[in-house]
């Protein structure tokens, strides 16, 4: 039984790791993996010196930072608000509704965004209703990252709150009773009991999120961007896709991809070290 599983990992996971040696070669499909000539770090140097290097790094980091700044706290706030609702039916209805978009495919979400962002689309109609002038959402680079983050919040805020709601149920109810007896209002209870109670969960989630810095976003960026907004939208993984699969510059794209993988791995190791110090949780 173990055999097919091991074969799978060897072929489809360790195979590509071996194949990544073409990052150090001038790969030609005719010569194959072994016979293509070695070129050392040529492709890495070309990438580090290319005009795209800093743009890709900057976009990858700024999209992720914006996401951590705005998207990360959103589910926590939602969970806290839901926790204050005493009507069970209302609470469950809000939960069911906000979980829903999580299951919509990224293609459909991107399609919706693009449709709504057209010059005669929903967003411009709303702007018109508010008496504001039309915007070219899709071709203005400055709109890209806010749209990206806002739509992520829309799609995942409910789903993300599940874990915090679970953490909230494990906060000791006696603490609240005592606080009430001591005359602490609900705001004080929130600050001194609820938040400290779910702080470990928040920290772990934040650490995990930081470990995903280099990989998050590829699919949605690929679907949403266009050449006019590359300046603010292009990230390392979309660059790898274009260089490797569309331009068939296999070795160069593999080098960029390997750089991304290595950076990501480094980040995870670092984050794990921090996680082990801050809390007792670690990935390994």
- For the bound state, the minimum distance from the C-beta of residue 152 to another protein, rounded and expressed in Å, comes to 13
The secondary structure of 219-253 as a DSSP string is HHHHHH--GGGHHHH--HHHHHHIIIIIS--HHHH
Residue 133 makes CB contacts below 8 A (sequence gap 6+) with: 127
- For the bound state, the minimum distance from the C-beta of residue 203 to another protein, rounded and expressed in Å, comes to 13
Burial of 58 by CB count in 10 Å (0-12 exposed, 13-18 middle, 19+ buried)? middle
- For the bound state, the minimum distance from the C-beta of residue 282 to another protein, rounded and expressed in Å, comes to 10
Tokens at 197, concatenated: 């109670």
- For the bound state, the minimum distance from the C-beta of residue 17 to another protein, rounded and expressed in Å, comes to 4
Specify the residue, 147 or 204, whose C-beta has the smaller distance to another protein. 204
Specify the residue, 66 or 267, whose C-beta has the smaller distance to another protein. 267
Q: Are 244 and 250 in contact (CB under 8 A)?
A: yes
Specify the residue, 69 or 228, whose C-beta has the smaller distance to another protein. 228
- For the bound state, the minimum distance from the C-beta of residue 67 to another protein, rounded and expressed in Å, comes to 19
Number of H helices and E strands in the chain, helices first, is 17, 0
Q: Hey, how many other C-beta atoms are within 10 angstroms of the C-beta on 196?
A: 11
Specify the residue, 37 or 120, whose C-beta has the smaller distance to another protein. 120
């Amino acid at each position: 039984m173990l055999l097919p599983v091991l074969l799978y990992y060897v072929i489809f996971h360790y195979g590509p790791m071996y194949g990544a040696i073409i990052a150090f070669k001038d790969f030609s499909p005719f010569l194959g993996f072994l016979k293509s000539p070695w070129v050392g770090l040529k492709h890495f140097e070309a990438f580090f010196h290319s005009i795209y290097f800093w743009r890709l790094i900057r976009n990858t980091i700024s999209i992720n930072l914006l996401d951590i700044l705005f998207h990360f706290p959103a589910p926590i706030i939602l969970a806290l608000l839901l926790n204050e609702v005493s009507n069970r039916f209302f609470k469950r209805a809000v939960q069911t509704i906000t979980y829903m978009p999580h299951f919509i495919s990224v293609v459909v979400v991107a399609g919706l965004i693009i449709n709504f962002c057209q010059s005669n689309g929903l967003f411009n109609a709303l702007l018109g209703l508010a008496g504001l002038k039309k915007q070219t959402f899709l071709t203005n680079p400055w709109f890209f990252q806010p749209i990206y983050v806002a739509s992520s919040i829309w799609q995942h805020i409910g789903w993300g709150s599940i874990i915090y709601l679970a953490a909230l149920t494990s906060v000791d109810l006696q603490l609240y009773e005592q606080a009430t007896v001591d005359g602490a209002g609900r705001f004080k209870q929130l600050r001194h009991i609820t938040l400290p109670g779910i702080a470990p969960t928040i920290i772990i989630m934040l650490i995990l999120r930081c470990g995903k810095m280099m990989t998050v976003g590829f699919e949605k960026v690929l679907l949403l961007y266009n050449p006019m907004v590359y300046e603010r939208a292009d990230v390392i993984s979309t660059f790898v896709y274009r260089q490797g699969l569309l331009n068939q510059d296999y070795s160069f794209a593999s080098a960029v991809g390997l750089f991304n993988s290595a950076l990501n791995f480094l980040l995870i190791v670092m984050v794990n070290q921090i996680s082990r110090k801050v809390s007792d949780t670690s990935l390994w």
